[in-house]
């Protein structure tokens, strides 16, 4: 397993002093990085945060593998009802290891597809139901709290659609000791896997939240966890030269806070890493977007993550990245050794705009375009860096996800914020519960109604 | 056709003076908006920009319809080779009118699917080829210049894969008077449709660039253009109360420039509008991300577009939007009358976290969550506004795309930038040509090599 982080184009020597980091600035930040590592390590040792332990949960991994082997062949579709951290990890794994939709090819009991219901848009849910056969679908319902409104709404419809014998086709992933989903799962006898209390949604891809759906669609979760375990060992090294999670955390922290870059572009040059970019968006936004420090000081911290896809977004976003405000750090994600080159035919057609490509490969073009874009950004003083995965397989993807989780946790320490809560979404949830008539939320319904009255007045 | 723009939550009366617009500020901006309309109108009358005319090109629309009727039934897959403006419009239409992948259902000659090759990642291209049958695939190759490297690379592979009789299964969309694709299409006899020279890629969805693939997958392009024509008439009205394109342009311009909001979140509460959000990302970023004004003054203008999906991204991005830096304007896109409600079963399960939803609908939950999120953002002084499409059908989607194009053109006028070029991407392209060995680009190869030498020195 080999993942390389290249920060050359974040440096002043490449992109100038205004937007680039001088060696002295980097050196001055190193004690902060080491302190962040030690601080996070103490919290993990206290048992506060559990994601670093997930790749080492051999008994859980084996239990999931056994379950997968037992049900294999009885379904051609895995239907996941879940949202946010309960869905994005599974998408990252499906897309990363089996390829992007809609070109995964025909689905069969030996090559099942993953259909994710992570919204309550009836246009999604009803179309999904029409596209699935209830006798050939295994439903995985995932909610740590056991009562996420969107997941419950979609699940109630899917449960009904499965019919009276449906309970046999449902698997639950939820908390062990609480929540209505756990009650229902016990009552109706769903096989159930548990999310450790100290593993939050966006850090749960290597817990049963990500591993159960992954195993069901045929991902080798043992290799996935092996890669993540290897990265975990690196991520605890108090050594910036050997620890890519800590080194990238430091460099991104310095670029963001010292050079005022409120936006990070996660820029995979790989359609397979597109799902991972959306998983990362949640990890970065929800962990580091915080009103207050842990001391209670108001800071409104947060760097807005943007997902861009190379080469595609060179024809959509790169004009802005090159000439717009210099307010971004661009993080390329590349794969050193693609599975196939995608050979372009050797035949020449006598067309100058075509023939230089004859006999070359798509893989080379993809690589050249990424390097050309990085060079052009650097020429315009735009900070950029790159993670390179040696290959894109279970081991490397598991390692990369774990790297990004550690990186985020380290950033949280450097910013002195709690990277593991999400209090900011509570008010919207309470308005929703109030408006949907859930008991105990009547006062939020009234507050919402006062807001609507005011809006009507303002509109005049 | 009815599209409503609600800007109440951009106003100081709702979100406070620091982030909201006072009535006096809005009133002061009105002459700027009217001047922008007049300025853009003059350019269109001069023939500089052609997108406003596209919905009225009856002969072209009929020609495409005839072609579609003629080939219908001979393919189950439309494979589009194109990138950026040559792909995003077709995706927006496919997703918006036929539903999101991967739940569109089985594809057949009467219900063909659209496979878009808008990248040179072999993992995309090779998987796509494996998933398609060359005897049942119609290839549409789209490149205005006729020589876009990514499109040519992918197309050469697809052309080879089609086999010796392949020319019969290829349709081209390109410029009439130039380019290597035009030469090849003429030589090999592909049916060919032309992109008007004064219609740029990101403004071309209602030209043959978007209409040809749309017609081939069964979209009613006449209705699409009817909606867009209706919007065009509104968009030329010098009346902020009746012209939603001009009104939204003004309000977004004022929020962005007067209240310092460098980011716009395009936030559809609709899986079907997800493709449109990516189409919009290009329109906004590439049109308005510019180093200089038309007078040559360096400004580095640009507002970074972010695509977010409701409700899904409430569980991913909204924490940041609520508590992070107040640097965004949030633009919701909603559909007033969904095609189906998505009824949740009436049966109660004796679970407090489930039962309040019984007998309600997903459509209601989706609507309530959007309004709750808007209210919560407003309570935190975060600017937000909403476009509401009465329904999501050809007419409304055509109108909405045209609205967004006009809005963008008006913004370009207010910012005094050229919204129709993209000079910033040239350097990256030239490095690519140099590194791929295209004749005439040797000096860029050398420049790239000097950059790599410097990088090696900096890395030490």
Convert the pLDDT of each residue in A172-226 to its tens digit.
Answer: 999 999 999 999 999 999 999 999 999 999 999 999 999 999 999 999 999 999 9
Convert the pLDDT of each residue in A42-96 to its tens digit.
Answer: 999 999 999 999 999 999 999 999 999 999 999 999 999 999 999 999 999 999 9
Angle at A251 between CA A246 and CA A254, to 5 degrees: 120
Q: Are residues B99 and B132 in the same domain?
A: yes
For residue A117, the chain B residue with the least C-alpha distance is B312
- In-domain check, residue B460: no
Residues whose CB is less than 8 angstroms from the CB of residue A58 and which lie 6 or more positions away in sequence, other chains included: none
In whole angstroms, give the CA distance from residue B24 to residue B3: 26
For residue A87, the chain B residue with the least C-alpha distance is B312
Are B354 and A147 in contact (CB < 8 Å)?
yes
Whether residue A250 contacts residue A26, with contact meaning beta carbons closer than 8 Å, is answered with yes
- In-domain check, residue A305: yes
Q: How far is B15 from chain A (nearest CA, A)?
A: 11
Domain holding A244: CATH number?
A: 3.40.50.10490
Q: Indicate if A197 belongs to the active site.
A: no
Q: Are residues B313 and B380 in the same domain?
A: yes
Q: How far is B325 from chain A (nearest CA, A)?
A: 5
Q: Give how many domains chain A has, as a whole number.
A: 2
Q: Are residues A259 and A408 in the same domain?
A: yes
Angle at A172 between CA A144 and CA A93, to 5 degrees: 80
Are A365 and B99 in contact (CB < 8 Å)?
no
Q: Are residues B212 and B236 in the same domain?
A: no
**Residue to substitute from A123, A178, A294, A393, interface B, most B β-carbons within 10 A:** A123
State yes or no: ipTM above 0.90: yes
Convert the pLDDT of each residue in A313-367 to its tens digit.
Answer: 999 999 999 999 999 999 999 999 999 999 999 999 999 999 999 999 999 999 9
Residues of B in contact with A338 (CB under 8 A): 121-123
Are A289 and B160 in contact (CB < 8 Å)?
no
Strand-pair partners of B368: none
Q: Indicate if B292 belongs to the active site.
A: no
Are A121 and B362 in contact (CB < 8 Å)?
yes
Secondary structure (DSSP) of B253-306:
HHHHHHTT--EEEEEES-GGGHHHHHHHHHHHHHHH-EEE-TT--EEEE--EEE
- In-domain check, residue B423: no
For residue B100, pLDDT over 90 is answered with no
Among residues A219, A252, A282, the one where a domain terminates is: A219
Tokens encoding A139: 């439903």
For residue B430, the chain A residue with the least C-alpha distance is A372
From the list A429, A442, A446, A454, the catalytic residue is A429
Residues of B in contact with A118 (CB under 8 A): 312
Are A278 and B316 in contact (CB < 8 Å)?
yes
Confidence band for B17, pLDDT divided at 50, 70 and 90: very high
For residue B102, pLDDT over 80 is answered with no
For residue A152, the chain B residue with the least C-alpha distance is B354
Among residues B168, B189, B219, the one where a domain terminates is: B219
For residue B101, pLDDT over 80 is answered with no
Residues of B in contact with A131 (CB under 8 A): 102-106
The neighbour count for residue A352, using CB atoms within 10 Å, is 12
- In-domain check, residue A162: yes
- In-domain check, residue B440: no
In whole angstroms, give the CA distance from residue A452 to residue A458: 10
Q: Are residues B248 and B194 in the same domain?
A: no
Among residues B152, B187, B219, the one where a domain terminates is: B219
In this complex, the residue of A122, A262, A438 whose CB is nearest that of residue B342 is: A122
| Residue A407 structural domain | 3-43+233-415
Convert the pLDDT of each residue in A379-413 to its tens digit.
Answer: 999 999 999 999 999 999 999 999 999 999 999 99
- In-domain check, residue B167: yes
Confidence band for B413, pLDDT divided at 50, 70 and 90: very high
């Amino acid at each position: 397993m080999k993942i390389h982080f290249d920060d050359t184009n974040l440096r002043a020597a490449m992109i100038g002093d205004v937007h680039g980091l001088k060696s002295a600035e980097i050196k001055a930040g190193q004690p902060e990085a080491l302190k962040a590592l030690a601080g996070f390590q103490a919290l993990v040792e206290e048992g506060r945060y559990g994601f670093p332990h997930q790749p080492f949960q051999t008994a859980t991994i084996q239990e999931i593998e056994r379950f997968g082997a037992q049900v294999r062949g009885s379904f051609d579709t895995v239907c996941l009802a879940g949202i946010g951290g309960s869905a994005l990890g599974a998408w990252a794994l499906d897309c990363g290891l089996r390829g992007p939709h809609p070109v995964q090819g025909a689905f069969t009991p030996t090559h099942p597809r993953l259909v994710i219901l992570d919204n309550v848009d009836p246009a999604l849910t009803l179309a999904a139901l029409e596209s699935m056969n209830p006798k050939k679908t295994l439903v995985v319902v995932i909610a740590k709290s056991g009562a996420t409104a969107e997941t419950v709404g979609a699940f109630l419809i899917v449960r009904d659609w499965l019919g009276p014998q449906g309970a046999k086709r449902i698997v639950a992933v939820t908390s062990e000791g609480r929540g209505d989903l756990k009650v229902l799962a016990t009552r109706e006898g769903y096989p159930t896997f548990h999310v450790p209390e100290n593993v939050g949604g966006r850090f749960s891809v290597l817990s049963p939240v990500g591993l159960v759906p992954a195993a069901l669609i045929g991902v080798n979760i043992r290799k996935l966890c092996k890669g993540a375990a290897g990265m975990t060992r690196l991520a605890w090294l108090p050594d910036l030269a050997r620890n890519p999670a800590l080194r990238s955390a430091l460099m991104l922290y310095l670029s963001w806070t010292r050079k005022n870059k409120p936006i990070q572009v996660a820029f995979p040059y790989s359609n397979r890493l597109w799902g991972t970019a959306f998983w990362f968006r949640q990890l970065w936004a929800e962990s580091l977007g915080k009103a207050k420090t842990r001391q209670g000081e108001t800071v409104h911290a947060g760097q807005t993550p943007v997902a861009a896809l190379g080469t595609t977004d060179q024809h959509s976003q790169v004009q802005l990245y090159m000439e717009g405000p210099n307010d971004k750090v661009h993080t390329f994600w590349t794969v050193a050794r693609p599975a196939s080159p995608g050979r372009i035919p050797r035949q020449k057609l006598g067309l100058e705009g075509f023939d230089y490509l004859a006999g070359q490969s798509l893989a080379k073009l993809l690589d050249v375009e990424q390097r050309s874009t990085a060079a052009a950004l650097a020429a315009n003083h735009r900070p950029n860096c790159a993670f390179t995965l040696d290959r894109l397989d279970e081991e490397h993807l598991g390692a990369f996800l774990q790297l990004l989780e550690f990186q985020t946790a380290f950033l949280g320490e450097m910013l002195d914020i709690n990277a593991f809560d999400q209090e900011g979404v509570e008010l919207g949830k309470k308005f929703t519960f109030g408006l949907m008539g859930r008991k105990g939320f009547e006062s939020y319904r009234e507050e919402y109604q006062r807001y609507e009255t005011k809006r009507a007045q303002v509109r005049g």
